[in-house]
Amino acid sequence: MKTILIAILAVSLITLGLSHNANAQVQAGGVNKQGTWYVGEDLKKGDLYSYNLCHVYYKDCTQFKIDFWVEGSEKVGSEDQWKLQTVVYDAGKIHKGTINLGKIAAEPIGSSKNMIPYAAAFKSSLSWLSAYATADPTQFSIKGPKSFTAPSWGKIGNIGGEQIIPGSEEKVAVPDGVFDTVRITWKTGGKVNNVWIVDDFPFPVKADTYAHVSSGVPPQEYRFELLDYQENVDKNPFTKIIDSGEEAVNKDCPPTSDDFTMISKNTNTGSMIVNVKYAPKNPKQGCTMDMIIDFKRKENQEEFVNQVHYDIMVVDTSSSGIPKTLRSLASESDRDSFFVTSGQIRTTIDVKESGKTTYAILVTGTGPETAPDPERAGYITFDVNVQPGTSTPPPPPDTPKCTSDQVLKDGKCVPKDKPTPPRTDDYAVPSWIKSSAKFWSDSKITDKDFVTGIQYLINKKIVKVPAGTASDTKSDTIPSWVKSTAGYWADGKTSDKEFVGALQFLITNGIIKLKS
């Protein structure tokens, strides 16, 4: 599967990912700045870089952090290559490995196995301009160093594709500082793509680009920004970093397969159709499962729903009508929810459970990334039979024996945590509502948008709020304390009960109107 992914990524450099309107006109660019630039310019031994990065073909542009140090040059076959010691921080895991870059075109041409998906994202983002600008002086008019004054650096893949042009000189602020840059720009389906480069600096310092689509909203192709840069680092800075990302290889894991099991369901609210394909059919605990999810319009299942906010969860549906969250993949990635522009995602899931496992695909809303509209919120659930993993090896002979009210931790017996008593309150607020509460408290959505969304969720019984005593005086004004309470609740600084109390105030004062 990884080999196929790399092939798709390579083709996307000139086709799917960045193809453009066949009727595009030649655009004149160029800025009043002397000199030339190419990917890898002034790259040298001892350079240390740190970037935040995402690419559409890696978990639908889920951000990760990549640090790489130029250890030096090494001979691979007949070619001299740069060897990069690399550390990736991704969803709470740390991956250490190596990536090799070419010297004519400073793009990944090899890597350790665990770096394959990250090297592919590196090539298709940080090094993407190497399709146009390289160190080869014999190809100056094709792929050699490119002049800042040139009206065009080349044309995107297909016939009639948009021109890539030096658009303007700009000061750009990134976490590493403020840089004098040249903005390289082109259009994609009405979206303006930008990559900011710095003379005598090997990689762009910032990018914001979009993939071409024949209809709908173009998804983010890639984005990145420079976090830190250091020169003359003479010792490997990653020596003391421990790789926590590579799990012990389980030889008993089912092989990768394209024999997918298919599920198609309407969400519980009737908002859309969710199609799920997963493989293998019976994944194994401690292994991985591939999953493809399509969000389709219920009115026409040939059309995707664009701009979907979602989560993939493991839930317990045994005790109530509302699934109880046991595990959230968004939370494991330090996010409130995932976001997909195109309506389709493909991902790999670490399988931690065993036996009959209920998965949920939760839609928390649709619309812009910073302001989801919860009107189309809903979820589907489906069961997967997970094979139990290899049994846990017996403890070493000198391991202390713990009593029934103790647990072994760091080689010592410590008291068990007291179980949390079951809730008896007549209310239920799913944790994913916190993203809307946070957006509202930060004034990223209006009072009306928040009230309308919560009103819809209460009427659909997704949020349960006990009835309160109606107030004698009605008001259309939301007190500031209600908004503050929502913000505190979103940040985990106050309880569900206090947030529900704020919602009760809005109901009893007629600001949230319930169906009779």
For residue 146, list its beta bridge partners: 37
For residue 321, list its beta bridge partners: none
Task: Please say if the pLDDT value at position 328 is more than 70.
Answer: yes
* Residue 342 φ/ψ region, left for φ over 0, alpha for ψ in the -120 to 50 degree band, beta for the rest: alpha
Q: What is the pLDDT of residue 164?
A: 92
Tell which residue, 177, 167, 184, has the closest CA to residue 227.
177
Measured over the CA atoms of residue 331, residue 254, residue 115 and residue 345, the dihedral's sign is negative
Q: How far apart are CA 42 and CA 235, in angstroms?
A: 20
The percent of residues above 90 in pLDDT, for the chain, comes to 41
CA distance from start to end of the chain? 53
Which distant-in-sequence residues (6+ apart) come within 8 Å of 298 by Cβ?
Answer: 266, 270, 271, 272, 273
Report the 3 state secondary structure along 79-109: EEEEEEEEEEEECCEEEEEEEEEECCCCCEE
pLDDT tens for each residue of 193-206: 999 999 999 999 99
Phi, then psi, of 330 in degrees rounded to 5 = -65, -45
Q: How far is CA 329 from CA 63, 181, 310, 336, in A?
A: 14, 37, 10, 10
Q: How far apart are CA 196 and CA 203, in angstroms?
A: 9
Token pair of 163, please? 């021109």
pLDDT tens for each residue of 404-436: 566 666 666 767 554 443 344 566 777 778 877
Q: Read off the pTM.
A: 0.57
pLDDT tens for each residue of 45-92: 999 999 999 998 787 788 899 999 999 998 877 788 999 999 999 877
Please count the helices (runs of H) and the strands (runs of E) in the chain.
7, 24
Task: Please say if the pLDDT value at position 149 is more than 90.
Answer: yes
pLDDT tens for each residue of 429-471: 777 788 778 888 888 788 887 888 888 777 777 777 776 545 5
pLDDT band at 162 (very low <50, low <70, confident <90, very high): confident
> Could you tell me the maximum CA-CA distance found in the chain, to the nearest angstrom?
86
Q: What is the pLDDT of residue 244?
A: 78
Task: Please say if the pLDDT value at position 505 is more than 50.
Answer: yes
Phi, then psi, of 267 in degrees rounded to 5 = -65, 160
Tell which residue, 70, 110, 117, has the closest CA to residue 91.
117
More confident residue, 360 or 248: 360
Q: How far apart are CA 139 and CA 132, in angstroms?
A: 10
Single-letter amino acid, residue 435: S
Rg (CA), the chain: 26
Q: Is the Cβ–Cβ distance between 415 and 406 less than 8 Å?
A: yes
Q: Is 291 exposed, middle or buried (0-12, 13-18, 19+ CB in 10 A)?
A: buried
Report CA 278 to chain centroid distance, whole Å: 20
Structural domains of the chain ordered from first start: 7-230 (no CATH), 261-386 (2.60.40.1930), 431-508 (no CATH)
Average confidence score pLDDT of the chain: 81
Q: How far is CA 16 from CA 11, 19, 214, 303, in A?
A: 7, 6, 10, 19
Token pair of 196, please? 């900011």
